[in-house]
Amino acid sequence: MPTPRDVLPEPHVCEQARLSRDARFDGVFFTAVSSTRIYCRPVCPAPPPKPSNVRYYANAAAAEADGFRPCLRCRPELAPGHPAWRRGEHVVARALEIIEDGALSAGSLDEVASRVGVGGRQLRRLFVEHLGAPPLSVHTTRRLLFARQLLTETTLPVTEVALAAGFGSLRRFNAAFAQANRIAPRELRRQPRAVDAGDALVLRLGYRPPYDFEGVLDFLRTRALPGIEHVEAHAYARVFGPAESPGWLRLSAWPGGEHALKLELHCPQPGRMLPLVTRLRRMFDLDAEPQAIGATLGAGGVLAPLLRRRPGLRLPGGWDGFEIAVRAVLGQQVSVAAARTLAARIVERWGEPLPTPGLPGLARLFPTPERLVDADLREAGVINARAETIRGIARALLDGRADFRPGQPLESFVASWTALRGIGEWTAHYMAMRALSHPDAFPAADLILRRAAAGDGGELSTRALSAMAEAWRPWRAYAVMHLWRSTADPAQASRKRA
């Protein structure tokens, strides 16, 4: 179980990182300056303050709870999320996932606490102990930092910014913003930085380097569903619902070598922007810390050369849990290309057409559980057993026997899904990898994994691979990505043939 000391690097490490402006520590800690009452990212371009005036915090909410306000130069709202609390089985990590999913926007703290198996008072105590701020402060800081980004990088009216940040009242938003930033929202717009992209907003989505964006695109490209998403040479695009008010997005590398992706977003409903950005950060694994992952996976053995070859390889998530589940079932014992063909037929037959396509060639939404629960999928060429499994998934989601809600322990998630007919350990772990972005999911029965891990042209048993993978916890899903990628690497493949 991590503690604050485990989460915050040692003081001498923080000191060296802030003096060198090391981007690998961006979001891992924040520097607060007692003389100015401002907190900054480690990469802040401002002259470094005296060490005697510096305090270190593991997250922005803790700095703001102590009365510091965010820097206008380095803009803490652009920092990646803290990796230690973005994933894992710890109560705080699970609660953070639930809060980021919007639970405190529509529900109570007691409901969040119940989902992670503790009481509301205990959850508050754990947040203060481990994060330095109570859950509501963490939630509010997150919303206000997103509002700062919208105010700085877009021309959205302040009223829409308030809605996008989850505030139902403009008066409450103005008061909360002024308290946290010591300025009114409109004051941030004296030097606008908005990028013109027609009817789309343009936002930076920061990450910690190294980041293998091309590797994520390669993975998504072979699985992209025609009509819904498209992977270009250097960008990912997709449409999203609801059908009566659809939107679209495009994600590419930020020009100029900045450690960020460029999000072009057309979202007719401002209140959906923060959940969409949160979903994209998870899908493209922007909050990962390559150093921590590499320290575990690269300690030796079969993964060490793979880590050296691709130190920035990430865990590509999926846009929607049901979409991933259908794809996982279609992919049982067939190739990725064959599963994609079947999924494309399902989209064409049961996907909901959009009245106004957002991007050329993208004009459908993936069918909902309601549309597939009674569908005869044999019309799309799906064999009867898998068709029944997909209908069973739809029924389970509709009646609440299984779900993709964030914050679930891996063991519980796998148990709930394998209780359904046609869902085995491989499928459940694959779904956990893609739908929950769980870092320790591990489909050990996968044939390609067992061959790649053998490393000598042989093939490990499922039990032998599971035993080997114990040393890779809690990052086994990243090991999966490295092993899968190694089989597609021409140089690696040629060495194996030799």
Question: What is the tens place of the pLDDT at every residue in 219-261?
Answer: 999 999 999 999 999 999 999 999 999 999 999 999 998 999 9
Whether 452 maps to a domain, the answer reads no
Q: In whole angstroms, what separates CA 213 from the centre of its chain?
A: 14
Angle at 103 between CA 415 and CA 249, to 5 degrees: 90
The percent of residues above 90 in pLDDT, for the chain, comes to: 84
Whether 10 maps to a domain, the answer reads yes
pLDDT at 380 over 60: yes
Whether 327 maps to a domain, the answer reads no
pLDDT at 11 over 70: yes
The model's confidence at residue 497, banded by pLDDT at 50, 70 and 90, is very low
Is residue 95 within 8 A of residue 406, CB to CB? The reply is no
Q: Which domain holds residue 18?
A: 4-84
Whether 367 maps to a domain, the answer reads no
Residue scoring higher pLDDT (497 or 123): 123
Whether 355 maps to a domain, the answer reads no
Looking up tokens 């039990």 gives 463
| Residue 60: strand, helix, or coil | helix
Whether 31 maps to a domain, the answer reads yes
The model's confidence at residue 86, banded by pLDDT at 50, 70 and 90, is low
The model's confidence at residue 187, banded by pLDDT at 50, 70 and 90, is confident
pLDDT of residue 39: 97
What is the pTM assigned to this prediction?
A: 0.93
Burial (Cβ within 10 Å: 0-12, 13-18, ≥19) of residue 132: buried
The model's confidence at residue 494, banded by pLDDT at 50, 70 and 90, is very low
Is residue 127 within 8 A of residue 95, CB to CB? The reply is yes
Helix (H) or strand (E) holding 386: helix 384-399
Alpha-carbon separation of residue 430 from 226, 297, 434, 438 (angstroms): 22, 19, 6, 10
CATH assignment at residue 73: 3.40.10.10
Is residue 315 within 8 A of residue 435, CB to CB? The reply is no
Distance CA 131, CA 61 (A): 8
pLDDT at 6 over 80: no
256, amino acid identity: G
pLDDT of residue 496: 33
Distance CA 79, CA 375 (A): 44
Distance CA 217, CA 234 (A): 7
Smallest Cα–Cα separation from 87: which of 405, 413, 407, 403? 407
The model's confidence at residue 82, banded by pLDDT at 50, 70 and 90, is confident
The model's confidence at residue 301, banded by pLDDT at 50, 70 and 90, is confident
Whether 54 maps to a domain, the answer reads yes
pLDDT at 265 over 90: yes
pLDDT at 7 over 80: no
The DSSP call for residue 362 is B
Contacts of 305 (CB under 8 A, 6+ apart): none
Whether 184 maps to a domain, the answer reads no
pLDDT of residue 190: 67
Q: For residue range 318-352, list pLDDT tens digits in order.
A: 999 999 999 999 999 899 999 999 999 999 999 99
The count of structural domains within the chain is: 1
pLDDT at 197 over 90: no
pLDDT at 493 over 60: no
pLDDT of residue 257: 87
- Is the dihedral angle over the CA atoms 161, 165, 171, 177 positive or is it negative? negative
Catalytic residues: 40, 446
The model's confidence at residue 490, banded by pLDDT at 50, 70 and 90, is very low
